[in-house]
């Protein structure tokens, strides 16, 4: 009897957790579209695989943004990092091999994240303002780099590893999602670094009293966010067989909504990697369902905006309740 009661208590605790919200809404939305789109290809495996592949760069961005939000920072520059890293990788690929092209693209992310982190911490300015400024700078650089021209990617090995490939029948883009998501989950849930991230985001003063190097942790979190965006740029270039300055420019709203709805606090101290991944897939399912239902791009943007507003409202309410 005690074991049964313990199990019931565990189920109740899980149901009350903020992170459980994403599971409920995910299956509700899935069921909703399954009913209204029963006569379409919505419920086919190929459609779901297409959703996973299309949202893979967004998922990687969401995982990276989770680290920044965990320490109480917001990174608005990730969309521009996607474009610049994709262009740098594509340009380098025309003159060098895959390793140097990938390294160059990822260095874009590391550099931007380091600059963001140092500016925020040294100047003690809001991350919203700093990353808004760097977003504009990086966007300008991406536009100037190729004079608004696209850069084709014809290297088949690159497009295989970062786009169209399969491993044991599994799409390579899904594999990237699982690898990056798995590594991030281990860091946040199993390692001391993850506990430090959440401690810094939850109560910086208490974290300092515990001997945690708050500034260093915050800078590392922003580097992780930008580097993930750089990897997303490579995935875009591999899947689309080319790079363009517009890559990632419309992704910021979707990524923030996915992370927020997935259980990560927009104010620091709580992060959920699984929720971020499911939140991105949820946004993909909603977009896919709206397209199959005949909704326009504008209506899809409105829907994403509504989801973000709801997620932020839930987060603000929690902060007030906990305060």
Q: What is the pLDDT along the chain (323 residues), one digit of tens a residue?
A: 444 444 445 444 543 456 677 788 888 888 888 888 888 888 888 999 999 999 999 999 999 999 999 999 999 999 999 999 999 999 999 999 999 999 999 999 999 999 999 999 999 999 999 999 999 999 999 999 989 899 999 999 999 999 888 888 889 999 999 999 999 999 999 899 999 999 999 899 999 999 999 999 999 999 999 999 999 999 999 999 999 999 998 899 889 988 988 888 888 888 999 999 999 999 899 888 888 888 777 877 787 778 777 766 766 666 556 55
The answer to whether the CB of 299 falls within 8 A of the CB of 104 is: no
Radius of gyration of the chain (CA): 20
* Distance, CA of 282 to chain centre: 13
CA distance 234 to 172: 13
The answer to whether the CB of 258 falls within 8 A of the CB of 276 is: yes
Q: Mind spelling out the 3-state secondary structure of 278-308?
A: HHHHHHHHHHHHHHHCCCCHHHHHHHHHHHH
CA distance 295 to 292: 8
CA distance 95 to 86: 15
Q: What is the pTM of this model?
A: 0.88
Cross-strand partners of 167 = 170
The answer to whether the CB of 89 falls within 8 A of the CB of 237 is: yes
Closest CA to 271 of 193, 178, 209, 206: 193
């Amino acid at each position: 009897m005690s074991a049964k009661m313990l199990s019931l208590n565990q189920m109740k605790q899980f149901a009350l957790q903020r992170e459980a919200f994403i599971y409920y809404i995910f299956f509700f939305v899935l069921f909703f579209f399954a009913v209204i789109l029963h006569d379409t290809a919505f419920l086919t495996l190929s459609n779901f695989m297409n959703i996973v592949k299309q949202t893979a760069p967004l998922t990687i961005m969401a995982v990276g943004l989770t680290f920044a939000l965990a320490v109480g920072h917001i990174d608005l520059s990730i969309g521009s990092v996607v474009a610049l890293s994709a262009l740098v990788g594509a340009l380098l690929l025309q003159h060098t091999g895959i390793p140097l092209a990938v390294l160059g693209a990822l260095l874009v992310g590391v550099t931007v994240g380091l600059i963001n982190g140092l500016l925020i911490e040294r100047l003690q300015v809001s991350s919203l303002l700093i990353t808004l400024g760097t977003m504009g700078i990086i966007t300008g650089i991406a536009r100037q780099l190729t004079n608004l021209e696209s850069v084709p990617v014809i290297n088949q090995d690159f497009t295989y590893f970062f786009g169209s490939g399969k491993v044991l029948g599994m799409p390579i883009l899904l594999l990237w999602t699982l690898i990056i998501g798995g590594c991030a989950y281990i860091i946040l849930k199993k390692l001391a670094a993850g506990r430090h991230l959440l401690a810094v985001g939850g109560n910086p003063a208490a974290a300092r009293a515990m001997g945690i190097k708050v500034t260093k942790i915050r800078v590392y979190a922003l580097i992780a966010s930008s580097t993930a965006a750089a990897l997303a740029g490579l995935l875009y270039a591999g899947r689309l067989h080319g790079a363009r300055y517009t890559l990632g420019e419309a992704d910021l709203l979707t990524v923030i909504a996915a992370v927020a709805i997935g259980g990560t606090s927009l104010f620091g101290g709580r992060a959920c990697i699984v929720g971020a991944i499911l939140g991105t897939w949820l946004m993909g399912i909603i977009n896919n369902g709206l397209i199959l239902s005949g909704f326009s791009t504008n209506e899809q943007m409105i829907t994403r905006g509504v989801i973000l507003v709801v997620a932020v409202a839930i987060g603000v309410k929690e902060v007030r309740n906990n305060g």
